[in-house]
Structure 1
Amino acid sequence: MRLILMTALTMLAFAANSLLTRAAIDAGGITPQAFALIRVLAGAATLAGLVALRGGALPLMRRARLPGAISLTVYMIGFSLAYLTLDAGLGALILFGVTQITMFGYGAVTGAAPTVRQLTGAAVAFAGLVLVLWPGAQATTDPLGAALMVLAGVGWGAYSLVGRGAAEPLAATAANFILCFPMLLLLFVAFDLRADAAGTLLAVVCGAVTSGLGYALWYSVLPRMQGATAAVVQLSVPVLAILAGALLLGEAITPVIALSAALVVGGIGWAVTARR
């Protein structure tokens, strides 16, 4: 029961990242660049504090740090800028779908040949993304926002692949967040970094709670799950974001979004539960 509760809280935290980012940026009191910087700084402080409480060290100079920090930076840029125009639920759906397809594609190229079931599931999920991204399919879908979220999905997929074999994933994530901040600062220093009190608060919550504590909680439950189970429970994230976006932010759940979500979630679920 405790494992189920902790897993549910983790999925809610992951879905909340999209809701908090969209709510803060859509309100206009904080720019996407400022939101990303504050989120990363708050996340770095929280994660580093958790590592210190556990008596661990931050592996800042390890070989995998640069690829991890760069891919995390790509994710943060695409994720924050995309929510200038995308709804929270739609953004989460694109992010999740692209992330899983990126990881599946990498595994298919570098690992064992995928099974027919895996290929079928990936094709169905890809069809769901094509449906929601097809010009004219969604009247409110901004092409640039969708492209930025696709970039974020590729970045998060690469980040997940880089950190997959980390011996201390919490410490590795803390180190990546710390190194990500100066990269973002260098890229965003010439942009408008305006932030009001409400936007700053949402960015801190997104970084410290739903990102920092959310990742810490995830790493505590992950060792007790099988790989397929861990992949399947994450299917709930875009669904939660779509439902919460409708309830809390007044976002519309159109037939296209509903069908696309069913294809993406169903296709990935079918693929990840296949025997290798």
Structure 2
Amino acid sequence: MKTCVLTIIALIAFAGNSILCRIALGDAQIDAAGFTVARLISAAIFLYFLVFFYKRTDESSLNYGSWWSSIMLFIYAICFSFAYLTLDTGTGALILFGSVQLCMLTMSKLSGERFSSLALIGLLTALFGFIYLVFPTLSTPSLIGFVLMSLSGVAWGLYTLAGKGAKQPSAETSMNFIRTLPLALIVLPFVDFSSVTTKGLIVAMISGIVTSGIGYIIWYKALPLLTGIQAAVSQLLVPVIAAIGGFLFLSEPISTRLIIASILILGGVLLVSLEKSKE
């Protein structure tokens, strides 16, 4: 139950991240570089004060996390923002989560994890439901958009796998974000400050503090409790959660296609959740 609750909360945060990014960039409230910089800096500052002041974490926690994880986190964030400038939501989601699946499942397999027949059936069922969900909005992607979103997916997959051994999720997530600051400063000169609005900045900060900072801590808490295939396939629920959020908060309609796709994805994730084999 603990694993299920933590995973669901993390996936809700991921869906919220996508919605916030679309709101900010779609309404031209901020440019892609500005959104990424504000998101990373706000998350790093918040987590620093949360972990090292409020929780009074020992200074040895400064050694948690890694530059590798931070670089992957930065690549995911910057490529994600710029890719959505040239991709529609459905196409972007397919490329992103397809890349995440390929990366995580390949790395898990190479590390020796065994996939049962039940888990593989669940994976195929969830993938079919996911493709069925996004298919109506698919369009031929721009080459640059495809490359950027693929890089984003691979980077997120590697960042996720790095968190499977997390012993101090709060400290590790905090230090990973803090180490992205030098990289964010490199992007700062490319921010179009004339396009940054108060609304865009607030949305980016919410994305950084809530759905990224807090959300990723929860994800790192859940990861050690999941197998590689469970961690990979469960993320296919994100588009479904985002669609439900659109219905609840934006009055977007619930279509028959969404209901069918949700049943397929949930069913597939349920089958994979029964997977007991470990690396």
TM bucket, shorter chain: 0.7 to 0.9
TM-score, length-scaled by structure 1? 0.77
Residues 73, 156 of structure 2: 8 Å contact kept:
yes
Distance 1:243 1:141 in 2: 26
- Structure with bigger helix share is 2
Q: For residue 78 of structure 1, report the CA deviation from its aligned partner.
A: 2.2
Distance 2:167 2:79 in 1: 28
Distance 2:187 2:130 in 1: 29
Q: CA offsets, 1:103-145, max 9 Å, x none?
A: 22211122144222333333444556666788xx635564454
Q: CA offsets, 1:210-245, max 9 Å, x none?
A: 22233345556x49x9537x8587554321112324
Bigger drift between 205-214 and 51-60 goes to: 51-60
Please state if 1:171 is matched with 2:171: yes
Structure 2 counterpart of 1:34: 34
Q: CA offsets, 1:24-48, max 9 Å, x none?
A: 1111120011001100111111111
Structure 2 counterpart of 1:273: 274
Structure 2 counterpart of 1:80: 81
Q: What amino acid maps onto 2:181 in structure 1?
A: F
Structure 2 counterpart of 1:244: 245
Please state if 1:12 is matched with 2:31: no
Q: How does 1:147-186 map to 2 (within 5 A)?
A: 147-186=147-186
TM-score, length-scaled by structure 2? 0.76
Q: For residue 164 of structure 1, report the CA deviation from its aligned partner.
A: 1.6
Q: How does 1:125-274 map to 2 (within 5 A)?
A: 125-126=126-127, 138-140=137-139, 142-143=141-142, 144-187=144-187, 189-190=189-190, 192-193=192-193, 194-218=195-219, 222=222, 226-227=225-226, 231=231, 236-245=237-246, 248=249, 266-274=267-275
Bigger drift between 109-118 and 73-82 goes to: 109-118
Distance 1:133 1:13 in 2: 20
Residues 169, 218 of structure 2: 8 Å contact kept:
no
User: Structure 1 vs Structure 2: percent identity of aligned residues?
Assistant: 35
Instruction: List runs of 5+ in structure 2 lacking aligned partners.
Output: none
Residues 24, 30 of structure 2: 8 Å contact kept:
yes
Aligned residue for 2:165, secondary structure, equals coil
Distance 1:253 1:44 in 2: 36
Distance 1:156 1:4, change over 3 A: closer
Aligned residue for 1:176, secondary structure, equals helix
Please state if 1:54 is matched with 2:55: yes
Count of equivalent residues: 271
Distance 1:81 1:60, change over 3 A: farther
Distance 1:41 1:191 in 2: 14
Q: For residue 159 of structure 1, report the CA deviation from its aligned partner.
A: 0.3
Aligned residue for 1:163, secondary structure, equals helix
